[in-house]
Every structure is written in structure tokens, then in C-alpha cells.
Structure 1
Amino acid sequence: MFKWIDIPPVWLAGALALAWVQKTHYSYGLTFGPVVADLLGGLLVGGGLVLIALAFYEMRRHHTTIVPHLEASTLVTSGIYKRSRNPIYLGDSLILTGMILYWDSVLALPLIPVFFWVIERRFIFPEEERLRRKFLAQFARYAQQTRRWV
């Protein structure tokens, strides 16, 4: 049961909830500036959604799972995965950053590196270890050619 709750969208929702609470109850009058923050926040959220959609499309095209705790049937290295080994997590991070900007949650900015850290430790490192064991040299080449984030 915990395995199905311990997934990146739940961690993203938790970070977004914390940012919203900070914005709603503890803003202390701090602001990024309305126009710039709204525009940049919207662009980041939109970019994150596009990255996630492209990654989902590529995973489905190769008939492999998007669930982090399950074993992949195929190593996907095409499409958006040529640019980033973790476009879904990168998209999640862009969404979090964009919403923090949009909501003017200045004090929630430390959530971004914390989110990166949690995602790497809970999901990326174990996933890469499973891929390394299953796909051996193919994954080693891919990891050498493609950066983890950008």
C-alpha cells in the first residue's frame, strides 16, 4: 500500500500544499513582483506540463511503465529522453517552482532544493540502479551521453 502512496506526484502535491499554506497564512508581505512572477510562473508550469506529456508519450510508445517502483521493460532513450534522463521529475520541479512564483510564496523557495533532494534519493537513485542492473552497458552508455536533469 505504501508503495502506491510513495510516488512523485504525491510528493509534488505535498510540496505544493506547503507552498500554498505559506502563501495563504505566512506571507509576511514578501513578494516577487506581480507581473514578472505570474508570467515566469505560468511559463514554468506550462513547460513542466509539456515535459511530462512528452515523457509519458515516449514511455507509452515503448510500452514500458511510468511507475517508479516497477521494473522497466525497455530502456527509453529517444524523444525527450535524449535530452534528460528524468524529464518527468524535471517537469515536476518546474511545476513546483512555477507555482511558488505564481503564488508569491517567497518563503517556500527552499522547498525546491528539498524536493530535488527527496526525488533523487527516493526515486532517481533506485531507478537508475535497477536500470543499471537490467540494461548493463546500454544504460552505462546512455548515462554517459545524457545528463540526469538537463
Structure 2
Amino acid sequence: MPPVWLLAFLGLAWMQATYLPMWFDFGGAWSDLVGGLLVGGGVLLIVLAASEFRRHRTTIVPHQEAERLIQSGIFTRSRNPIYLGDALILAGLILRWDAVLALPLIPIFVWIIEKRFIIPEENRLRRKFRMDFAKYCDKTRRWA
């Protein structure tokens, strides 16, 4: 499950910040502000996406068959707002914790989520919704 992956990566970043602090940091107050904004933005994306899933009465659980193709709300901007929100939360907490050495975890997290969850989900949606999903992909980016 993606939340487990997020928690694991957050744990690694926190451990780096706690047990291997470096002599340099991101710069104090600005990194706290930007980190907080990223975490807040990530949480907002997840809440907006979850509300669309609920409104359309389809599953939010990865690897389950969707009943409907959601193309409204936050899904007009991104095909994967929850995963984008997860990545923003990870980036924001890395900034807040001054976990400089943990920065490479962000692209690794995105790569794992894409390979393990996004591509299989998109393949299922492509098979089920065919032309509608193709049109949706043409007008909405995967990561936005």
C-alpha cells in the first residue's frame, strides 16, 4: 500500500535527520516555511482526491477495480493527486527535519510508486474505460 511506502520513506528521512545530522542544513526558517507549505499542500491534495472518490462512489484502494473513471475536481489537474500529495509530504518533512542526505529519497519514492502502483492502475483503467481513459490521458498529466 502506498501509505506504507510513504511511512517507510519518512522513517528513513527521520532516522537520517536524527542519527546522522550533517553540519549543513537547508537554512532554518525558510525551510520550515516551505516544508510546512509542501506538507499542507500534500494533505490538501489527498483530501480533495479522497472526496472525489467518495462522491463518485468508487474505490480509493490501489489494485482494486474502479467502478468509474474520475475526471472532475482535482483530477482535472492530475491523474494521481494522492501520489503527488504523498511526494509533497515527503519533500516537506525532509525540509522541516533538515534531512539533507535524505533528498534522494524523493525521486526514489516517486519511481517506486509509479512502477508498483500508477502503471498497473493505469493499465486497468485503460482496459476498462478504453477511449475515455485515452482522452483523459491526453488532457491530464500523470504528475502535475
TM-score range, shorter chain: over 0.9
Q: Is the 8 A contact 2:22 2:100 kept in 1?
A: no
Corresponding position: 1:108 with 2:107:
no
Structure 2 alignment gaps of length 5 or more:
none
Q: Which of 52, 55, 58 is residue 61 of structure 1 equivalent to? A: 55
Counterpart code for 1:144:
D
Q: Is the partner of 2:64 in helix, strand or coil?
A: coil
Structure 1 equivalent of residue 46 of structure 2: 52
TM-score, normalised to structure 1, is: 0.95
CA RMSD of aligned residues (A): 0.4
Q: Which of 70, 78, 97 is residue 84 of structure 1 equivalent to? A: 78
Structure 1 equivalent of residue 16 of structure 2: 22
Identity %: 64
Matches of 1:126 and 1:71, distance apart in 2? 11
Matches of 1:30 and 1:118, distance apart in 2? 28
Matches of 2:63 and 2:21, distance apart in 1? 37
TM-score, normalised to structure 2, is: 0.99
Q: Is the partner of 1:11 in helix, strand or coil?
A: helix
Deviation string for 1:79-115 (max 9, x for gaps)? 0000000000000000000000000000000000000
Structure 1 alignment gaps of length 5 or more:
1-6
